[in-house]
Chain A
Amino acid sequence: MTRTLLRLALLTVAFALGTYAFGWWAVPAVAAAWGLMNPAAPRTAVRAATAALVAWLLLLFVPQIFGAPIVPFGIRLSAAMRVPAWALWTAECAFPLALAWSAAALAAALRGPDRSAH
């Protein structure tokens, strides 16, 4: 259990650092690497998606703790984009989820389709 959590935490850090250094493209790249390395692990794609989401939320809300007006600006930003605030936040979460899940699932399937379904 501890080992699983540690792996998940490391994966989260990898997503965060990758995004910080290379931008959003790092999400499918890290997820694909994770899928290739762990084709047999249980719920490979789901874990990748969860880690990517957590990484992005951390990158967003840690600055909020230090004073960046992320939440209030999000409300204005959604108004600027003419979408409800919940739609913006949903997209903000769904995008890394979709990228990471699909990249990890695909990579795992390519590497070892028989074992990645666990």
Chain B
Amino acid sequence: MIFRVLRGLAAVLLLGAALWVGARGQGPVPPLGQLLDPVNGVWGPVTHASLPRRAAARIPGLSAPVDVRYDDRGVPHVFASSEPDAYRALGYVVARDRLFQMDLQTHAATGRLTEWAGRAALPLDRETRDLGMPRAAEQKLAAIDTTTMAWKVMVAFAAGVNAYVDGLRPWQVPIEYHLLGVRPSRWQPIDAIHLFNRMGWTLTYLPDEAARYAARAMVGDQAADALFPLNSVIQEPIVPLAGKAPRFDFTRLPPPGRPDTGAARVASLLRSVSPPGELAAAGDRRHLASNNWAVAPSRSADGHALLANDPHLDLTLPSIWYEVQLVVPGKLDVYGVTIPGAPGVVLGFNRDLAWGFTNTGADVLDFYRETVDDTLHPAKYEVDGAWRPLALRVERYLGKHGELLATDTVRYTYRGPLMHRFGAWVSMRWTLLEPSREVTAFYRAAHDTSTREFLDDMAQGFFVPAQNVLVADRRGHIAIRSTGHFPIRPRGTDGLEIFDGSTTRSDWTGYWPVSAYPQAFDPKQGYLASANQQPEDPRAQFAYLGDERAFDPWRALDINRLLRADSSVTVDDMRHFQTSPLSVRAELFVPYFLNAAKGAVPDSSLDRAAAILRNWDGRYTRDNVGAVLFEEAMRRLRDNTWDELQGPSGERVATPSDDIMYDLLQQPYSVWWDTKTTPAVEDTRDMIVVRSLLQAYDSLVKRLGPPGAGRWAWDSTARVNVRNLLGIPAFSALGLITDGGQGTLNPAPGHSMGPSWRLVVDLDPAGLKAWDTYPGGQSGDPASPRYADRIPQWLTGALSPALFPASAAALPAGRTSATLTLDPEARR
């Protein structure tokens, strides 16, 4: 009897516990029922990891059936009879492959990650909402003219996504939802704006003025301003130079001066509003290293214009890009990549032209020190002697089960969000928070037929993040324009200071006219190239766009040299250029190491180090020994040279760029070479250069053994990591080996950023041809064979021809891997 009672009790307890853990989860354990169910749980997407050969679905609002053909690379080619239908289908097919990614981006962009991850995500969400991003998206949405095609496109796209979400069978729910124990959300038209805001945040929220202020606190204003100048020392701008290029604008660096005590506080304040992560840690924007270039028919082997683009962004799985073609006969025929959630093709080509972006790196964000009525709980702020009420917005953060985690009140001046940092109330004006029309720009661009038309459409709608928009057309024209809203600041100021918020005299007075944008059309030199360098020669036209830390000259030197040297460029050359491991930066610096070593006291280690550099071909190839030594020597050179910028804790507060280092190398007896810990001025350039090389060699021998032992290979010290969006190593591709290094055109190793897409287009008047790849795959399902299938190809630098059929019938049957028929939902 007791046994029966105990057994019954055990059954009750076990059943209760199993149901509880199955339905609700416990602590870090997600709901086990939803997870472990062999049909509808996490195994469902594994069982259905490949798209079925044939599928059909009904979408509300379609005017006619849409035929979607997936090619053998998993690219959907959408054939629709109207544009709204095409964008509806786009929403459906992107959701079908990337639903979780879209949802995650929206949660991140709206500051709602806590609803999935709980309290741990609160700091990230607070940052997003404190910056006013969700509010800005709502304002942008409210300003949209709902009679425009852009609005119709946004609505159609959302309807397509929601048709997929609403029709989701349990086994189609992506794995990540099971792991997190959450459900997919429906898509709203505003989510496209959130997505563009998020992209703008990545590419423009880089308030790196802090470096200059931190340096001022150590070495005074004059020296700091010289170490962190507005213009690049090396000029190879996007708008071709009038004279010989490149040009080196060397200047004598003034000696360290008296510390500016007030600057330290400003630097701390600015750092407190900087984003977390690699970019902030690196202290500059140079990791956002994208390339694009175009060659005019006069310099191409086949007499056609050629275009190449490789935007460098965070390398993630699934990839940031999704490849697609949209066809509406007689109206639209565009191919390229979209960001999942963006209602249109962001980068790509149509029948007449091709385009590509690189980040301009413009400073489009300013801070204002505000005067408020109450230092703890301000309700008003003073402008021109009058008090204005602060706009208040209550932000509520919910947890996984809808419980309230926190409530904040975010205050706004007319300039933007107000933040309390280091005892000061600081407001922010940022172009990202202002009206823009990206969807309109991309919609129109997809229809354009000439370079001029394309650039003008982009200029009228694409305001942020500012991009170097390169375009080439089938008639042989090439053009580039740095496009975006560039603020006009008060005369005599730049964006590097914190402005006085109590007067409207500090305000922006507008944006640059399009005619003032850096731009070039069909240049005499027969090619155009951008690689995040300073867009325009400051001697030709100086207007503040940002300081030189935003601009990287090295890849611009690399690509311009390659293009100058080749007057008969082929498609294959373009592909090889994209993955060139050759470094002009190395070529410029290595002679200084070798000359200094030659004049130094004989030393066996130094001789061996010099021999390695002497025999180095300047390439960052996988088994390269020289690249390993050079990068370590450069790191030591920075450490040994910029010791004046070390704070009390021994950490360097800011690091000048390597082009400033190159400038300093022209001044062998500058006091900057001297070690500050010794009282006398005794060190010269060559002493420091030799010391750095020796330290590098010795440390590498200690760490890796002698250079001949085989462990000094570049690929053993610098590898590529393509991380899963949730940071799950098992769903990531880590420790990948490829060529390239700092300052080369293919600078992926050693960073989590790299060429997120590679495109080469031959603008053949008889029919445009394109080749491309990206480091990932079309599917967002980690169990799918298409999750990361392109990575091996991407690592080798190979590209695949993009199939660009004008009709469904033109897609070869043998290249079709799956079909999807979308039918209008029957009227009720």
A: residues with CB less than 8 A from B are 19-20, 23-25, 28, 45, 56-57, 59-60, 63, 68-70, 73, 76-77, 79-81, 91-92, 95, 98-99, 101-103, 105-106, 109, 113, 117
Q: Are A113 and B179 in contact (CB under 8 A)?
A: no
**B598 contacts chain A at the CB level, 8 A cutoff:** no
A64 to B43 CA separation, bound complex (whole angstroms): 11
A23-B34, A109-B8, A117-B3 given; name 5 further pairs at CB < 8 Å. Answer: A24-B34, A60-B38, A68-B49, A69-B783, A81-B179
**B538 contacts chain A at the CB level, 8 A cutoff:** no
Q: Are B47 and A68 in contact (CB under 8 A)?
A: yes
Per a CB cutoff under 8 Å, which of B7, B14, B40, B46 touches A73?
B46
Residue of B nearest to A63 (CB): B47
**B15 contacts chain A at the CB level, 8 A cutoff:** yes
Q: Are B18 and A99 in contact (CB under 8 A)?
A: yes
**B405 contacts chain A at the CB level, 8 A cutoff:** no
- State how many angstroms separate the Cβ of A98 from the closest Cβ of chain B: 4
- State how many angstroms separate the Cβ of B245 from the closest Cβ of chain A: 50
Residue of A nearest to B12 (CB): A106
Q: Are A99 and B22 in contact (CB under 8 A)?
A: yes
Per a CB cutoff under 8 Å, which of B10, B14, B43, B730 touches A60?
B43
Residue of A nearest to B781 (CB): A73
Contacts of A98 in B (CB 8 A): 14-15, 17-18
- State how many angstroms separate the Cβ of B733 from the closest Cβ of chain A: 12
Q: Are A76 and B730 in contact (CB under 8 A)?
A: yes
Contacts of B42 in A (CB 8 A): 77
Residue of A nearest to B38 (CB): A59
A59 to B36 CA separation, bound complex (whole angstroms): 11
Q: Are A95 and B32 in contact (CB under 8 A)?
A: yes
Q: Are B36 and A24 in contact (CB under 8 A)?
A: yes
Contacts of B32 in A (CB 8 A): 91, 95
A103 to B7 CA separation, bound complex (whole angstroms): 12
A92 to B175 CA separation, bound complex (whole angstroms): 16
Per a CB cutoff under 8 Å, which of B10, B17, B33, B43 touches A70?
B43
A95 to B26 CA separation, bound complex (whole angstroms): 14
The secondary-structure label for the interface of chain A is: helix
Closest 9 CB pairs of A and B: A79-B730, A102-B15, A59-B38, A24-B33, A105-B11, A102-B14, A24-B37, A106-B11, A63-B47
- State how many angstroms separate the Cβ of B393 from the closest Cβ of chain A: 37
- State how many angstroms separate the Cβ of B32 from the closest Cβ of chain A: 6
Contacts of A106 in B (CB 8 A): 8, 11-12, 15
Q: Are B47 and A19 in contact (CB under 8 A)?
A: no
Contacts of B41 in A (CB 8 A): 24
Instruction: Take A76-B730, A109-B8 as given contacts and tell me if A102 and B39 are in contact as well, using a CB distance cutoff of 8 Å.
Output: no
**B491 contacts chain A at the CB level, 8 A cutoff:** no
Contacts of B729 in A (CB 8 A): 79-80
A91 to B175 CA separation, bound complex (whole angstroms): 17
A95 to B745 CA separation, bound complex (whole angstroms): 53
Residue of B nearest to A68 (CB): B47
Q: Are A105 and B7 in contact (CB under 8 A)?
A: yes
Instruction: Take A81-B179, A98-B14, A109-B7 as given contacts and tell me if A23 and B39 are in contact as well, using a CB distance cutoff of 8 Å.
Output: yes
Per a CB cutoff under 8 Å, which of A24, A80, A92 touches B22?
A24
A69 to B45 CA separation, bound complex (whole angstroms): 10
Q: Are A80 and B8 in contact (CB under 8 A)?
A: no
A36 to B22 CA separation, bound complex (whole angstroms): 23
Instruction: Take A24-B22, A59-B39, A68-B49 as given contacts and tell me if A77 and B730 are in contact as well, using a CB distance cutoff of 8 Å.
Output: yes
**B546 contacts chain A at the CB level, 8 A cutoff:** no
- State how many angstroms separate the Cβ of B784 from the closest Cβ of chain A: 9
A105 to B11 CA separation, bound complex (whole angstroms): 6
**B826 contacts chain A at the CB level, 8 A cutoff:** no
Contacts of B7 in A (CB 8 A): 105, 109, 117
Contacts of B39 in A (CB 8 A): 19-20, 23, 59
Per a CB cutoff under 8 Å, which of B4, B38, B175 touches A56?
B38
Q: Are B43 and A24 in contact (CB under 8 A)?
A: no
A27 to B75 CA separation, bound complex (whole angstroms): 40
Contacts of B809 in A (CB 8 A): none
**B728 contacts chain A at the CB level, 8 A cutoff:** yes
Q: Are B33 and A23 in contact (CB under 8 A)?
A: yes
Contacts of B4 in A (CB 8 A): 109, 113, 117
A56 to B179 CA separation, bound complex (whole angstroms): 19
13 A-B contact pairs sorted by A residue (CB < 8 Å):
A23-B40, A24-B22, A24-B33, A24-B41, A28-B15, A79-B729, A91-B36, A92-B36, A92-B38, A95-B33, A99-B15, A102-B15, A106-B11
- State how many angstroms separate the Cβ of B528 from the closest Cβ of chain A: 44
Contacts of B730 in A (CB 8 A): 76-77, 79-80
Q: Are A113 and B37 in contact (CB under 8 A)?
A: no
Residues of chain B from 40 to 69 with CB closer than 8 A to chain A in the complex: 40-43, 46-49
Q: Are B46 and A102 in contact (CB under 8 A)?
A: no
A87 to B646 CA separation, bound complex (whole angstroms): 50
A45 to B731 CA separation, bound complex (whole angstroms): 39
**B19 contacts chain A at the CB level, 8 A cutoff:** yes
- State how many angstroms separate the Cβ of B786 from the closest Cβ of chain A: 13
Q: Are B731 and A76 in contact (CB under 8 A)?
A: yes
Central interface residue in A57, A95, A113, by most chain B CB within 10 Å: A95
Q: Are B34 and A45 in contact (CB under 8 A)?
A: no
Contacts of B175 in A (CB 8 A): 77
- State how many angstroms separate the Cβ of B571 from the closest Cβ of chain A: 36
- State how many angstroms separate the Cβ of A49 from the closest Cβ of chain B: 11
Instruction: Take A95-B36, A99-B22 as given contacts and tell me if A45 and B49 are in contact as well, using a CB distance cutoff of 8 Å.
Output: no
Residue of B nearest to A110 (CB): B8
**B782 contacts chain A at the CB level, 8 A cutoff:** yes
Contacts of A45 in B (CB 8 A): 11
**B170 contacts chain A at the CB level, 8 A cutoff:** yes
Contacts of A91 in B (CB 8 A): 32, 36
A81 to B179 CA separation, bound complex (whole angstroms): 8
- State how many angstroms separate the Cβ of B5 from the closest Cβ of chain A: 9
A99 to B175 CA separation, bound complex (whole angstroms): 23
A101 to B782 CA separation, bound complex (whole angstroms): 34
Contacts of A77 in B (CB 8 A): 42, 175, 730
Contacts of A63 in B (CB 8 A): 43, 46-47
